A and B are shown apart, each in its own frame.
Chain A
Amino acid sequence: MLDVHVTKHFDGFTLDVSFTTHAAVTALMGPSGSGKSQTLRAVAGAMRPDRGRIALDGEPLFDAGAGIDVPPQAREVGYVPQHYALFPHLTVADNVAFGLKPRNHPDARARVTEMLETVGLTGLDRRRPHELSGGQQQRVALARALILNPRILLLDEPFAALDTQIRHSLRQELADLQQRLGFRALLVTHDPEDVVMAGECFLYENGRVIGEPTLLEPEPAPVSG
């Protein structure tokens, strides 16, 4: 369960949103500049709201009233920004291994190999990000986040930076990956087609959630953890 009730004033724009979701994949949909990405950043811990509360499975990540602001390092969320933000100075393998601490993960190399296989990037481990296609870059970003088994994956416009031709197949791939690994995700998009893989969808407009949530599954998908 993800609870988000936050307010944040920007220059000439106010984000004031409130929603609760139980779905495995939740979509935030709306025009650009409606506050979806800022909501995602607030969950990631990259943006500090003025007021409100964010909780994951009842455990607060942020609570202005109680003075709680869990640092991003301790939130255990996987953040995949719109342009993937791959580390340009590192190889694909080093990007994926970035969050694995050698002390806690002596098997880091094996886990990276396995993860690269899972996302279909076997053999590209020594490439650098700029040598990859957009779709491959996205998979590296996914692998880098998923290897730490995050409590929730935060995807900001995951397909917006890609060509229309490969968008469709990558959408299917991500849905398959989600089914296989069973991770939970919060997805930000302006494209109605992306919402197909979501169990629940909230519509954004001018910094607010409008209307009732659209339930896209008869039952909220059960999520473990």
Chain B
Amino acid sequence: MALLGALRSSGGAALGEHGGTRPQHRRTTGIILLVVGALLFSLIIALPIIAIFARVLPTGTLFSTFARPIVLEALRLSALTTLCTLGLTLVLGTPIAYLLARHRFPGKAVIDSLIELPMVLPPAVAGIGLLMAFGRRGIVGEPLSALGITIGFTTVAVVLAEFFVAAPFYVRAARSAFDSVDRELETVSRTLGVSDWATFWRVTVPVAFPSLLGGAVMCWARALGEFGATIMFAGSFQGRTQTMPLAIYAAMESDLDAALVLSAILTLVSFAILVLLRISVARLGGRYA
């Protein structure tokens, strides 16, 4: 609204000066088009979100719906699997991000692209790939099932699917975070007698922290929203593989209220993530400026 006012007043002032000559007309038309475009854009983004809350809030069934098993189980499962995914990503993703940022080795460009591939791959392709690798008939899945270990259609499969699509978001951010840490800081730390390992934890990680945090949050958010690969590779079993997005899809026909409540929760959580991320990065960034 403030933007609209500013545009209006500047347009108005210009009109007054030049008395509405033809180029001035053109300028006013341009501004109107800009504003209309911006409004349309915002409307298309905002309307579905408003619609969810418009349906959830007035019914008054929010809390009773919240307590239904399908909702509670999905919440529990989403929290559990996304936290496992995040932990796995931090433990496995941090070393490879550091390696890619700091070392040159043959085949690096290939590994680089391979790691980012899941970010652009359609989730359905991820699902098929995971099935072919870890499914009952998969490359790894078959020998494992001979040992009595099944991955497909279990909670572990959910974590694997989330890891596959979400981990690259962290690795990419961590890689550029490590890249941007001044190497002289590490050199100085070493000449001060601090071991390479301690230098990593006392210098590299804290200096890279705002970007590492951003990458971790994006990874977690992506895992939370994972749908396509999960439903193909893990299925949609309540309490076992049915995370929030899957529960929304499952409840659509039978229990719209539950689907709406879950959607509202996911929307709120996602919005909170974005706001918190923006605030914390700004605050941490200011500290290091």
Report the nearest A residue to B208, measured CB to CB: A89
Question: In the complex, what residues of B have CB within 8 A of residue A76's CB?
Answer: 193
Q: Cβ of B191 and Cβ of A78 under 8 Å apart?
A: yes
Question: In the complex, what residues of B have CB within 8 A of residue A45's CB?
Answer: 190-191
Which of A12-20, A79-87, A207-215 contacts its partner?
A79-87
Answer whether A85 and B185 are a contact pair too, CB < 8 Å, given A73-B195, A128-B287: yes
Question: In the complex, what residues of A have CB within 8 A of residue B184's CB?
Answer: 81, 83, 85
A98 to B194, CA, bound (A): 8
Is B189's CB within 8 Å of the partner chain A? yes
A99 to B203, CA, bound (A): 12
Contact count band on A: 20 to 34
| Count of A-B contacts judged by CB separation below 8 Å | 64
B199 to chain A, nearest CB (A): 9
Question: In the complex, what residues of A have CB within 8 A of residue B112's CB?
Answer: none
Q: Cβ of B187 and Cβ of A81 under 8 Å apart?
A: yes
Is B182's CB within 8 Å of the partner chain A? yes
Is B46's CB within 8 Å of the partner chain A? no
Q: Cβ of A72 and Cβ of B185 under 8 Å apart?
A: no
A85 to B184, CA, bound (A): 6
Report the nearest A residue to B188, measured CB to CB: A85
Report the nearest A residue to B210, measured CB to CB: A89
Interface centre among B184, B188, B287, B288 (most CB of A within 10 A): B188
A148 to B190, CA, bound (A): 13
Q: Cβ of A89 and Cβ of B187 under 8 Å apart?
A: no
Q: Tally B residues with Cβ within 8 Å of A.
A: 20
Is B3's CB within 8 Å of the partner chain A? no
A130 to B189, CA, bound (A): 19
Q: Cβ of B190 and Cβ of A87 under 8 Å apart?
A: no
Is B120's CB within 8 Å of the partner chain A? no
Answer whether A85 and B182 are a contact pair too, CB < 8 Å, given A128-B287, A130-B288, A130-B289: yes
Produce 1/0 per residue, B166-202, CB < 8 A to A.
0000000000000000101101111111110000001
Q: Cβ of B288 and Cβ of A73 under 8 Å apart?
A: no
Question: In the complex, what residues of B have CB within 8 A of residue A145's CB?
Answer: 191-192
Report the nearest B residue to A141, measured CB to CB: B188
B262 to chain A, nearest CB (A): 39
Question: In the complex, what residues of B have CB within 8 A of residue A44's CB?
Answer: 187, 191
Answer whether A75 and B207 are a contact pair too, CB < 8 Å, given A81-B184, A89-B288, A130-B288: no
B37 to chain A, nearest CB (A): 40
Q: Cβ of A144 and Cβ of B192 under 8 Å apart?
A: yes
Interface residues in A45-98 by Cβ distance below 8 A to B read 45-46, 71-79, 81, 83, 85, 87-89, 98
Is B206's CB within 8 Å of the partner chain A? yes
Question: In the complex, what residues of B have CB within 8 A of residue A89's CB?
Answer: 206-207, 209, 287-288
Answer whether A99 and B194 are a contact pair too, CB < 8 Å, given A46-B187, A79-B187, A85-B184: yes
- The residue from A83, A88, A99 contacting B288, defined by CB atoms under 8 A apart: A88
- The residue from B182, B185, B192 contacting A99, defined by CB atoms under 8 A apart: B192
Report the nearest B residue to A43, measured CB to CB: B191
Question: In the complex, what residues of A have CB within 8 A of residue B202's CB?
Answer: 98
Q: Cβ of A71 and Cβ of B190 under 8 Å apart?
A: yes
Question: In the complex, what residues of A have CB within 8 A of residue B182's CB?
Answer: 85
Residues of B within 8 A of A (CB): 182, 184-185, 187-195, 202-203, 206-207, 209, 287-289
20 contacts between A and B (CB under 8 A): A44-B191, A45-B190, A46-B190, A46-B191, A73-B191, A74-B193, A76-B193, A79-B187, A81-B187, A83-B184, A87-B189, A87-B203, A89-B206, A89-B287, A89-B288, A98-B189, A98-B202, A99-B194, A128-B287, A144-B188
